[in-house]
Amino acid sequence: MWTPALPPAQPGPIESLSSSPKATQVKKQIRLNAIDMMCMGCTPGIWRHPRDQSAGYTSLRYWTDLARLLERGKFDCLFLPDIFGVYDVYRGGPESAFQHAVEFPVCDPMMTVPAMALVTEHLGFGVTGTISYEAPFSFARRVSTLDHLTGGRFAWNIVTGYLSSAARAFGLKDQLSHDERYDRGDEFMEVMYKLWEGSWEDDAVVRDKAAGVFADPAKIHRIQHQGRWFELDAYHLCEPSPQRTPVLFQAGASHRGRDFAATHAECVFIGGRKREAVAKTVADLRHRAAAQGRDPASVLIFGALSVIVDESDALAQAKLEDYLRHVDLEGSLTLISGYAGVDFSTYDLDAPLVHFQSNAIQSFVNGFTSTDSGRQRTVRELAMRAAIGAPHEVGSPQTIADAMEAWIDETGLDGFNLVYSITPGDFTDFVDLVVPELQRRGAYKTEYAGGTFREKLFGQGRSKLDTQHPAAKFRHSRTHQP
């Protein structure tokens, strides 16, 4: 699953960020993605809560109901992370992941998208595809098919993977080194762009029934690629989909990951519990995008956020305390051991953490081992934070709206990836309580824009990647678009 890095935070197992002053003006409307995963919940142990319905993840009804709810709340997208491996670092095996349902079992989220698209009109769908283990040719066809079936509402979250168990599942001894995974990823993206952007010209499809001509052969081009990692000699099997290339998500937070995001991503997902740190990350990503010859405003940046809301601050705080009673420390330790690539069962839970090298999620390691105010955090504190999810806001609709506005104004974020504790209850609470308050303030849309997902994000007439994106150079000369 995608997880944001955890930079330094104040001591204590759980933080609330709601105390920051109210923003005086919102310069842009807040964008929102909802995060769910095709498994037993996104946070260890909370699936045991009596209100949680994540056990329905194997039912299409669960997903179609969720999609309808999110569209009612005018969410931009439902983002579905995914993993191929199992969390087998903790205690040297997968038993704890099995027992505590730590992102296991996990089904293929792409299979849910057509059903959700059928019952919605505007909601986008973003799904993780792990480039370390996908074949570009077949993956390109699968994504184009989903972009067709959703009417141009599909997005791809590009990840390189971080679990060694996934590499072994695909017949490898281990995963590549961290930076080498991104090197391979750059070439993977080049192959994808060639297939999506260069194989078919815009007017290749004729559909002339009288002449008996479906497509003009002169306008369908063979893609040949020979590189370090991939060789290809093929035609893209799908005619151009509404967006050609899907909207591109990415969440790399290491230095190499940020370079990758600045090169390829249209929407970047970041973590961070302190607004000052998040603001620096936002500025750094926009600087890197500009260095790649891209308009920094063409990259939308989303922070992770968990919202626990009720009619009053007191009721919301009571709800948080109720959730915390269901936290599964063992499950959380299993999860963060997989993130870090280190077996935390061998650590003293209350001893300060020190920095170490990892071939898993590098930014996660760098974040939680950083010193804050001269005090280093413990494994127990880290596990408690991971158990309840992303940086979170707790309070009434007014308190939550104040905090969200402040985050946007003080960091330069464009929006949030909303992470739930229980599902669909937290999303329902947000839609019913927070969305109307944000709309009243003019901080959130009251109606969807028309067009494809990319047009909803970037404006009418922009259904394709812009000319500054590296994919544009692979377009056939007669299909190059402004």
Residue pLDDT tens, the chain, 482 long: 444 443 333 333 333 333 344 444 545 799 999 999 999 988 888 899 999 999 999 999 999 999 999 999 999 999 999 999 999 999 999 999 999 999 999 999 999 999 999 999 999 999 999 999 999 999 999 999 999 999 999 999 999 998 999 999 999 999 999 999 999 999 999 999 999 999 999 999 999 999 999 999 999 999 999 999 999 999 999 999 999 999 999 997 889 999 999 999 999 999 888 999 999 999 999 999 999 999 999 999 999 999 999 999 999 999 999 998 998 999 999 998 988 888 999 999 998 877 655 554 444 555 554 544 455 778 888 888 777 766 789 999 999 999 999 999 999 999 999 999 999 999 999 999 999 999 999 999 999 999 999 999 999 999 999 999 999 999 986 444 43
- Cα dist. 159→2, 162, 231, 417 in Å? 8, 9, 21, 16
For the chain, the residue count is 482
pTM: 0.90
Q: Return the SS3 of 445.
A: coil
Q: Quickly count: other Cβ atoms within 10 Å of residue 276's Cβ.
A: 10
Question: Residue 451 CA to chain centroid, in angstroms?
Answer: 22
Fold of the domain spanning 31-479: TIM Barrel (3.20.20)
- For residue 256, which of 185, 354, 192 has the smallest C-alpha distance? 185
> Please, which residues have CB within 8 angstroms of residue 459's CB and are 6 or more apart in sequence?
449
Neighbours of 482 (CB within 10 A): 7
Beta-bridged to residue 14, according to DSSP, are none
Domain boundaries, the chain: 31-479
Burial (CB < 10 A; 0-12, 13-18, 19+), residue 50, is exposed
Closest CA to 186 of 141, 250, 234: 250
Q: Which residues contact 440 (CB under 8 A, 6 or more apart)?
A: none
> Distance between CA 85 and CA 89 in Å, rounded?
11
